[in-house]
Every structure is written in structure tokens, then in C-alpha cells.
Amino acid sequence: MKAAFTEAGYQALVEDIFRRFPSVQKEGFAAGAYKPGLERQMAFEEALGHPSRQFRSIHIAGTNGKGSVANMLASALSSCGLKTGLFTSPHLIDFRERMVIAEAEGDAPSVTEKKADVPSGASPSVLPHLIPKEYVFDFLTEWLPWCTEHGLSFFEITTGLAFRWFADEKVDVAVVETGLGGRLDSTNILERPDLTIITSIGLDHMAQLGDTLPKIAEEKAGIFKKGSPALIGEGSRTLYPVFEERARKLRCRIGTAFWPMHRFPYDHEEILSAMDLQADVQENNLRTVLSALIYLREQPGYEALSNAEAIVDGIVHTARNMGFHGRWERLQERPLVIADIGHNAHALKHNFAQLEALNRPLIFVYGIMADKDLDAILPLFPEKAQYIFTTPNTPRALPAEDLLRRFLSAEGDAPSVTEKKADVPSGASPLVIQNVREAVKKALALATPETVIYIGGSTYVVSEALPLFQGHNN
């Protein structure tokens, strides 16, 4: 007899999968959370009735930017009237954030003559629909015994869950972000995506993907498929031959994110300035998204993408349309509070440079995972800032005391940690406040209306801080 859904039963099942099937987001690469290889996912896919064959897909990999590109694409596609699935990771508050279907509610805006500025307010509302709790409950009730027997990971279970839901809901297309790497990622069971995209390559997860940029690029290029075109977002003369060689072997078309922009009737810079995603790094991501859409709109099944006005409106309102958080997100204006989940040197060099360019007093609420390359990150820290180091609530976190010690050592001044822990000093000295929310409250207390508070270093820091701000009370 099928178990009946209850909120308590749902919560118990979700807690059970987090306990019995550790996630990389929570546990790191220990405890069996990371299980490279496709054998288990392919077996699960077969048991589920091959759901990934029942919808079109766009597959995205990259060190940084893939979440932004995925969300921008999904917002644009849904604004044009396509029922669009979106599978991303990690989540910030609710693990159902990983599985979203977006659909325009009403008619897409009509095509008009080319304008000097981007359209505003023309599109119907696009609301993200998280996977229903009832669907998750029924799926887990049915499939957890099978997953346990076959030794699946948390990510493999959620990949199967998302693909089965997309198929059941008959999405027109699913935008799928890899979890880690590409070649051995669970999402790589997608047999023939309409387009594969590599957003960027940086030194991250080197123990799993390789200790050089070419090795990492080769792993990311593992998502290329025979007959599926590939798009490279962030140009690199040294790495492009790696992608080109992989594409040559598979006989698939390859291009860069500079496919003729003149074929799109709105100015790139004007779109960028109007977007609700305002980090400087979005410039490359926007070029990647526009290039992808220029290619897709010429393919069968994507005729709706001829509506350039709807595309632009979808891109401009990505955060609003998709409920996309934690990417240079402005949580408050006076003082200005910015939250960003960037966590490696490749991403943070852009974030920190953008902060310094504001030429305003800075307060950092910062925590980091122990497996990140802190030696590469510390030299990027702005010199003139108040730092509040904190420890997010996960075993993966680097203790704030250790972060302080490393920071002061890099500065050439390393007093004992016990001195810093005795009380919370005032002024410009770096502080240690273990609890993320208390660290944010301290930052707000120290700030003036002209201060910029940056909350970041880890997804966990941002996720624990968000409920303090309006609109994030869930």
C-alpha cells in the first residue's frame, strides 16, 4: 500500500537521505559523498525508464559561471514560452532548489523594431516552480530501497529524481548543470544534448579533476557528445586546443562565445547594465548565453527564440524569474549588503576587485571550506577592510580561528589565536565570531550607511546569512 504524504513524513525522508547518503555540499569528498563514474547513474536511469531520453537538454560544465549561465538560459527560454526544466547545485536553503520548472504565465512579448534600449516590463511573469514535496515523498518512498541496495550517492539520487520529474512534466527542454567536472559526473548520462557549454576553467577541486588547467579542461570537455555542438564561454588560447581536440575526435561542431553578436538586435552592454545580476563577471556569462541562444534559435524546436525582446526580458530578470540567489545579491541598500557564493581564487579575484572599485568602507563576513586553496585567495583580500571570520555549520568548514591565523600570517603579524578569541575587539582588527548569523549582526552594528558588507567565501556562509534579510525567511 502506497504511503500517504504528510509534512512530517516528508521531513523524515529528506533527513534520512541527508543522513544515509552524504552530499559533497555537506560532507565534502569523504564518507562516500563523491562517487565518480556513470555505472550507478546509468543503472538508475534504466530502472526509472530512461527519463533523460524524454526531453531535450542543454548541458553545462565549468569551474565558475555555470550556475549563472544555466539560470539565465532557463529564464530566457521560459520567457519565450518554452516549458523549461533547470537542474543545478548546490542549494542554499531547501534542496528542492536544485530542481525547478519555469513556465511563462501569459503571452510572450511581441517582436518590435530594434530599440535603443532594452525592453522593460514587457514580458509575462515567469515563476520558478520547485519540485513538489509530494512528488519528492512519493519518489523517495518508492526508490530509496533500490538506491540503498545499489550504493547511490546523494547527487545520483537527486539527478534521477530531477530527470524523472522533468520527463513526467513533459518539459520542452531541460538546462542541466554538472555537479563536479564533467566526464564522470552523474549528469553525463545525457546522450545527445542540443548544446554543451563550458563556461570557464580554473584551479578548483584539483584532487578530483587534476592539478593543471589542461587536465581540468579535459575533464570538463567530457560532456561533449558526438553530433552535439559545443560552446566555449571563456576564451583561452592555451586551453582551446584541449576542447578542439575533444570535439575533433567526436566530430562535433565547436565555437566560442563570440559568435556574431550583430545577429542579435540588442546591445550587449545595454543588456548587461539592465540585468538584475550585477557582478562584473556576468559580462562573460552574458556573452555565453547570447551565443548559445543565437545558435539554438536556428535549430528545430526553438522557433520561439526568434523573439529577441522576450529573450532580453528573460535575461534581464533572471534573479526575479528563477529565484536565483547568492550571486552578487544585494540583500540591503543602506548599508549595502552583498552576498556571493564565489569560493575560489578564479571567482574571488573579480569579486574583490569589484568591491575595491566601489571606494567605500568595507566589512567582510567570511568563512571558507578547509579544502579550498586559501594560499591563492589570501593575496586577493582588499587591504583596507574590516574582516569578521566565521565558521559555517558544516564539517567541511575551516575553523575561523585557523582562518584568522592564516590571514595574519599572510599579513606578517600572527598573534596567538587565544588572544583573538578572548573577546571581540573593535576597530579594524580582524574578528572571530563563530556563528554566521551573529557575525552578520556584528557587521551590521559596525557599519555606517556608506559601508559595504560582503558576505561570502562559501555557499554555507551565504545560506546561513540569508534568513536574516527580508524575503529569505524560509
Mean of pLDDT over the chain = 86
One domain, residues 280 and 385: no
Percent of the chain residues past pLDDT 90, beyond the cut: 63
pLDDT beyond 80 at 108:
no
pLDDT at 344: 82
Question: Cα–Cα distance between 114 and 177 in angstroms, integer?
Answer: 32
**SS in 3 state form for 254-279?**
EEECCCCHHHCCCCHHHHHHHCCCCC
Among 157-171, 202-216, 232-246, the least confident range:
202-216
At which of 322, 341, 361 does a domain end?
322
Gap between the terminal Cα atoms of the chain:
33
Question: Which comes out higher in pLDDT, residue 192 or 35?
Answer: 192
Residues 54-76: pLDDT tens digits?
Answer: 999 999 999 888 999 999 999 99
214 or 360, greater pLDDT: 360
At residue 55, the 3 state secondary structure works out as coil
pLDDT band at 419 (very low <50, low <70, confident <90, very high): very low
Residues paired with residue 133 on neighbouring β-strands, in sequence order: none
Smallest Cα–Cα separation from 52: which of 188, 222, 147, 143? 188
Pair (338, 271) in one structural domain? no
With a cut of 60, say whether residue 418 has pLDDT above it.
no
pLDDT at residue 200 in the model: 84
In a domain, 118, yes or no: yes
pLDDT of 125 reads 72
| Position 371 confidence tier, pLDDT thresholds 50, 70, 90 | confident
The confidence score (pLDDT) of residue 415 equals: 45
299 & 334 share domain: no
Do 408 and 352 belong together in one domain?
yes
Q: Can you give the CATH number for the domain in which 31 is found?
A: 3.40.1190.10
Cβ-Cβ contacts under 8 Å for 199 (sequence gap 6 or more): 60, 61, 62, 63, 64, 65, 66, 69, 233, 234, 284, 285, 288
Instruction: Give me the CATH number covering residue 439.
Output: 3.90.190.20
Please tell me whether residues 419 and 278 are part of one structural domain: no
- Between the alpha carbon of residue 129 and those of residues 75, 104, 380, 404, the distances in Å are 12, 11, 38, 41
Among 266, 294, 322, which residue terminates a domain? 322
Whole-number Å distance between alpha carbons of 254 and 87: 24
Name the DSSP class of 301. T
Note the Cα 28 to chain centre separation in Å.
Answer: 17
What is the number of structural domains in the chain? 2
Model pLDDT, residue 111:
39
Q: Give pLDDT tens digits for 292-315.
A: 999 999 899 999 999 999 999 999
252 domain-assigned: yes
Task: For residues 292 and 354, state if they share a domain.
Answer: no
For residue range 421-461, list pLDDT tens digits in order.
Answer: 433 334 468 999 999 999 999 999 999 999 999 999 999 99
Same domain assignment for residues 317 and 340: no
262 and 372 co-located in one domain: no
Q: Is there a domain that residue 474 lies in? A: no
Supply the pLDDT for residue 265.
73
- Residue 76 or residue 283, greater confidence: 76
Task: State pLDDT tens for residues 7-56.
Answer: 999 999 999 888 887 665 555 545 455 567 799 999 999 999 999 999 99
pLDDT at 257 (0 to 100):
80
Residue 413, pLDDT > 60, answer no
Exposed (0-12), middle (13-18) or buried (19+): which is 165, by Cβ within 10 Å?
buried
Q: What letter would DSSP give residue 397?
A: B
358 with 385, same domain? yes
| 281, part of any domain | yes
CA–CA distance, 78 with 276 (Å, rounded to integer): 17
User: Phi, psi at residue 4, to the nearest 5°?
Assistant: -85, 140
Least confident among 142-156, 254-268, 270-284:
254-268
Say yes or no: 287 and 337 in one domain: no
**Residue 186, pLDDT above cutoff 60:** yes
Bigger pLDDT: 27 or 157? 157
Stated as kind and residue range, the H or E segment containing 54 is none
pLDDT of residue 426: 40
| pLDDT above 80 for 324 | yes
Look at residues 304, 322, 340 and tell me which one is the last residue of a structural domain.
322
Per-residue pLDDT at 171 exceeds 70? yes
Check residue 407 and give its pLDDT.
94
242-279 core/surface letters (b: 16 or more CB in 10 A; e: else) = bbeebbeebebebbbbeeeeeebebbeeebbebbebbb
1 belongs to a structural domain: no
Whether 109 shows a pLDDT value over 50: the answer reads: no
Q: Is residue 289 part of a domain?
A: yes
Residue 114 has pLDDT above 90, yes or no: no
CB contact at 8 A, 230 and 197 = yes
Whether 167 is covered by a domain: the verdict is yes
pTM of the shown model: 0.86
The neighbouring-strand residues paired with 397 are: 369
Dihedral sign of CA atoms 202, 205, 206, 208 in order: negative
User: Does 347 lie in the same domain as 271?
Assistant: no
Grid coordinates given for 323: 529565484
Are residues 337 and 318 located together in one domain of the fold? no
Instruction: Tell me whether residue 2 is in a domain.
Output: no
Instruction: Answer left, alpha or beta for residue 155, where phi above 0 means left and psi between -120 and 50 means alpha.
Output: alpha
Structural domain for 419, as ranges:
329-468
